[in-house]
Structure 1
Amino acid sequence: MRTEDRSLAALGLDGVPAQEPLLYPGRPITAPSLLTGDELLELDVRPLRLGEWFVEERAQEAAAQRRLDEALVDRGQAVTGRRHPVIAVGSNASPGQVTYKLTRLGIPAQVPMVPVEVRGVAVGCSGHISPAGYVAGTPYVDREATTRLVVTWLDATQLKAVDDTEFPDYRRAILPGDSFEMTMPSGERLGGAYIYFSAHGVLADPLTGRPRPGGGDQAELLAALLKDSPRLSELLGPDAESWVATAGADAAVREHGTRIFGEEGWVLPQTEFLTYLDDAPRPRLYDELPPLGGSLPPQG
């Protein structure tokens, strides 16, 4: 079994976009994992529910496997069935950012993170400038798209902490699995999951009128926005470094830049997710979101 260093630093996953805006959206996980503090442990996918997958742990340079739910209980954490599946579109797919958001509040960063194929959702750019100075990503509905996105399984305290970092610029919806097919690496189809979408709309490409693709290199995005708008260049230019330094230091500048997005005619309203706004008295848990029929791959 492998016993290599699984620290975020060793894996190159310790970057925090909230502290270094041009890192946004940060490096996402690429394989099913358990984030546990400053380490990222590998999950061995089984044709079963998430809690029955195995996590590879190290003890005195030896590796051993045990079920994910058992590993969470031993750490004093909620099992997967008592957690809330949340689709990460931007930096919440980055272990470094998730760890930063939680641990700065004294909340344990113990989070299962799994890449999931999501049908009907694409990633664009939000129509606002974030408090850190970058232009964040946002999902939008595209019925022809299938996008690989990371789902984080958050307990109630972790979900509240992430909510506080997203509101009021983002709103939370719950996507039903019968309208937005979500397929786990195990073959399980999720019955639903939460997603945050921008309250400021989606930035459009001025040439095509279609949403600008999100999730790419932040410096390239900001350079393109500066090129496309002399007003933004005057306010935030001449380059991406000056943009994040200026915007990150002054809320009035961020608000002005956000207004320019609208005045340039770049902002497409987000209405499709409004149907799915989460108005339940409490969030739904993984064990309350039944998988669809035939959710597990055939075994033989």
Structure 2
Amino acid sequence: MRTEDRSLESLGLAGVPAREPLTYPGRPIPAPSLLNGGELLRLDVRTGRLGDWYVEEPVRRRLDEALVDEGQAVTGRRHPVIAVGSNASPGQVAYKLTRLGIPATVPMVPVRVRGIAVGCSGHISPAGYVAGTPYVDREAETPLVVTWLDATQLKAVDDTEFPDYRRAILPGDDFEMTMPSGERLGGAYIYFSAHGVLADPATERPRPGGGDQAELLAALLKDSPRLRELLGPDPASWVAAAGSTSRLRELGTRVFGDEGWVLPQTDFLPYVDESSRLRVYDELPPLAGSLPSAP
């Protein structure tokens, strides 16, 4: 029996950064959950495979049983995808899928990932914001979210990421991914920017991503008179202008390069998933990451 309102709206998680660019990256899930349309249902963390974790509402049942009841693919037939930006936000994920008529039924689980940090992509997104991108930092341990997507959902998310992002397969042996249960994933997909990573002019290191979008855009405008002339004077004018025309986005992206801010992304190249280029989905075998291994 349902005991509380688990709608995204009531939980404050219904925001869609694609529609409100200055809210990027949106609010991520606070705990292991099953996104089910407009609701976010709690998952009871257990040792062993994800499909044996329990969904708490409206009737306590195993996750795989709940997915079957919804007519959706079980966890063993899904693909784990690490989110580094708005794909960790249930409102954004639901928006991306439901506007295409695809059921937004997606297990979403916080993980700790070693060797990955989050920066800012070297381009301006179609919505007008500067999105996040992962980069390799062997000293980092970063809290991220893994979404488990079926083949149709994976294709839909690919379509929102390409050509600005490429998909790679991170092996668990090289990038330790720890679930809330303490178990480790054998592997997971991740999207990384095809445009490189923005550097902080003061340090020449990747500029940290995932924070307040308005602060980021204000800092970029402060550092570049050309950006102020093109997209200024403030973050609100930036997203309004950049979100209205691809020409301004292209010019703004070019300024990033002209200012010398863009660091190339090469560390992910050995892990690039070539099947994503071929756009073949039904034949993709689930990664080993679908089945956690013992710590």
Alignment TM class, shorter chain as reference:
over 0.9
TM-superposed CA distance for 1:289, in Å, is: 5.8
Contact 2:41–2:57 (8 Å) recurs in 1: yes
Q: Deviations over 1:176-211 (max 9, x none)?
A: 000000011112211100000000000000000010
Superposed CA RMSD in Å reads: 1.4
CA distance in 2, matches of 1:184, 1:73: 23
Contact 2:168–2:189 (8 Å) recurs in 1: yes
Contact 2:76–2:290 (8 Å) recurs in 1: no
2:108 corresponds to which residue? 113
- Taking the TM superposition and a 5 Å limit, the aligned residue runs for 1:106-255 are 106-255=101-250
CA distance in 2, matches of 1:159, 1:52: 22
TM-superposed CA distance for 1:44, in Å, is: 0.2
Contact 2:133–2:197 (8 Å) recurs in 1: yes
Contact 1:81–1:287 (8 Å) recurs in 2: no
Contact 1:37–1:108 (8 Å) recurs in 2: yes
* Structure 1 gap ranges (5+): 59-63
State the TM-score, normalized to the length of structure 1. Answer: 0.94
Q: Deviations over 1:121-160 (max 9, x none)?
A: 0000000000000000000000000001000000000000
Q: Deviations over 1:70-114 (max 9, x none)?
A: 000000000000000000000000000000000000000000000
Query: Given residue 16 of structure 1, which amino acid in structure 2 is its aligned partner?
Result: V
Contact 2:107–2:148 (8 Å) recurs in 1: yes
- Taking the TM superposition and a 5 Å limit, the aligned residue runs for 1:40-119 are 40-58=40-58, 64-119=59-114
Contact 1:129–1:257 (8 Å) recurs in 2: yes
Secondary structure of 2:19's counterpart equals coil
Pairing 1:261–2:256 present: yes
* Structure 2 gap ranges (5+): none
Q: Deviations over 1:254-275 (max 9, x none)?
A: 0000000000000000000001
Report percent identity of matched pairs: 81
TM-superposed CA distance for 1:5, in Å, is: 1.1
Pairing 1:277–2:278 present: no
State the TM-score, normalized to the length of structure 2. Answer: 0.95
Secondary structure of 1:69's counterpart equals helix
Contact 2:50–2:291 (8 Å) recurs in 1: no
**Cα distance change of structure 1 residues 97 and 32 upon mapping to structure 2, 3 Å threshold:** same
CA distance in 2, matches of 1:283, 1:142: 29
CA distance in 1, matches of 2:10, 2:289: 37
TM-superposed CA distance for 1:115, in Å, is: 0.2
2:32 corresponds to which residue? 32
TM-superposed CA distance for 1:52, in Å, is: 0.2
CA distance in 2, matches of 1:28, 1:9: 14
Secondary structure of 1:249's counterpart equals coil
TM-superposed CA distance for 1:291, in Å, is: 4.6
CA distance in 2, matches of 1:233, 1:111: 40
CA distance in 2, matches of 1:152, 1:143: 23
Secondary structure of 1:157's counterpart equals helix
Contact 1:85–1:151 (8 Å) recurs in 2: yes
1:8 corresponds to which residue? 8
CA distance in 2, matches of 1:141, 1:182: 14
TM-superposed CA distance for 1:286, in Å, is: 4.3
TM-superposed CA distance for 1:290, in Å, is: 6.0
Contact 1:124–1:212 (8 Å) recurs in 2: yes
CA distance in 2, matches of 1:160, 1:188: 28
